[in-house]
Amino acid sequence: MKRSLLFIPGNRPNMIQNGLVLPADALIFDLEDSVLEEEKDAARTLVASALSSLDFGLKELVVRINEMSSPHALKDIEAVVPAGCESILLPKTEHSDDILELDRWLDTVEQASGIPPGSTSLILLIETALGVEKAFELAKASRRVKALALGAEDLAADLGCERTGEGTEILYSRTRLVIAARAAGVEVFDTPFTDTYDEQGCFLDTVFAKKLGFDGKLSISPHHLAPIHKAFTPSQEALENALEVQQAMQEAQREGRGAVALRGRMIDMPVLKQAERVIQWAKAARMLKGEADDESR
């Protein structure tokens, strides 16, 4: 479960080192927007070196490569995949052909590096009108695709609309992406909150995204990790209820039943599914003792 995916500029050694300790569920080392054209090579080397030499614990390691149309994308893949990158974040995804080509590149690089074939996942960053329209098709383009993610700043520019605090202008895109991801059987991550110091605003934005069905949220600031995690942390009451549901369903299944009554309420598979989601969030928030999801001891 990835509640938070934190962008780290690929050309900033100190920030990369901070990634060792910041409590993000996933780190996205950025080789695209945060790196100037003349620094692309140095950043690629730095990120590959960090991936291969530093122990980031159980955090998922993602790299945002440059656009497929750029001269950097293949070099990015060739450097970071052998170094230990687990997922590629593909920017401005619009065409299935790009995904298929990336798929082939990954096949080659994985084979050459002795990495199990198909083990590098793809997260598709949807940040254009065309991308939103084709979200389901893109999500189904490769078995490597494990998630869609929304990039609302570029999307707003493409739509020609103004980005607002309440986010009305991206509501359709958000719900469309959730539906496309669910239909394709992949996860879906919300757009970053952009006001670095407005932690309460980030919390409320994340609560809303969670209500829409997002599994996690991209983050451009370490200051947003706490509010994002807080938004994805269930109440103690919700957790106890979920554990009760899980236990009741386990007992029902042992007895060969698909549904069971719990304090007058009918419990079945959809209810169990929701309960398991709550339990996963609780585990991520270390609410369940001995089941911390990171390297703490």
Partner 1 sequence: MSRDNKVVATLSDAIRRSGLKDGMCVSFHHHLREGDRVLNLVLDECARLGIKNLKVNASALMACHRPILKRIKDGTVSHIECNYMHKAVGGPISKGLLESEVIFRSHGGRPAALTRGESVIDVAFIAASTADRAGNCNGREGKAAFGSIGYAMPDAEMADHVVIMTDHLAKYPLSTASIDERWVDSVVVVDSIGDPEKIMSGTTRITRDPVGLLIADYAAKAILASGLLIDGFSFQTGAGGISLAVAHYLGALMREEKITGSFASGGITGTLVDLHEEGLFEKLLDVQCFDRDAVASIGKNAMHREISASTYASPASKSAVVDHLDVVILGATEIDTNFNVNVHTDSNGIIMGGSGGHSDTAAGSNLSIIVAPLMRARLPLIVDRVSTISTPGSDVDLLVTQFGMACHPDNDELRLRLLDANLPVFSMEALKDKAESLTGIPVRRLPEGRRVASVISRDGVLLDTIKSRV
Helix, strand and coil percent figures for the chain, each rounded to 5: 50, 15, 35
Q: Which is nearer to partner 1, 9 or 91 (CB)?
A: 9
CA distance 283 to 71: 42
From the CB of 82, what's the least distance to partner 1, in Å? 22
Paired strand residues for 121: 87
**Interface positions with partner 1 (CB under 8 A):** 17-18, 20-23, 54, 197, 222-223, 286, 289, 292, 296-297
| Termini Cα distance of the chain | 20
From the CB of 235, what's the least distance to partner 1, in Å? 14
From the CB of 234, what's the least distance to partner 1, in Å? 17
Torsion of CA 218, 131, 69, 99, to 10 degrees: 90
Chain centre distance of CA 274: 19
Is the distance from CB of 126 to CB of 178 less than 8 angstroms? no
From the CB of 128, what's the least distance to partner 1, in Å? 31
Is the distance from CB of 124 to CB of 93 less than 8 angstroms? yes
Q: Which is nearer to partner 1, 70 or 194 (CB)?
A: 194
Q: Which is nearer to partner 1, 54 or 179 (CB)?
A: 54
Q: Which is nearer to partner 1, 18 or 280 (CB)?
A: 18
From the CB of 54, what's the least distance to partner 1, in Å? 8
CA distance 55 to 45: 17
CA distance 284 to 127: 28
Q: Which is nearer to partner 1, 277 or 286 (CB)?
A: 286
Q: Which is nearer to partner 1, 30 or 94 (CB)?
A: 30
What are the angstrom distances between the C-alpha of 199 and each of 3, 166, 174, 193, 219?
16, 15, 21, 9, 12
From the CB of 231, what's the least distance to partner 1, in Å? 17
Q: Which is nearer to partner 1, 6 or 150 (CB)?
A: 6
Segments of 38-154 assigned E as strands: 60-64, 87-90, 121-126, 145-150
CA distance 18 to 82: 22
Question: What kind and span of H or E run contains 242?
Answer: helix 236-254
From the CB of 18, what's the least distance to partner 1, in Å? 5
From the CB of 126, what's the least distance to partner 1, in Å? 28
Q: Which is nearer to partner 1, 22 or 212 (CB)?
A: 22
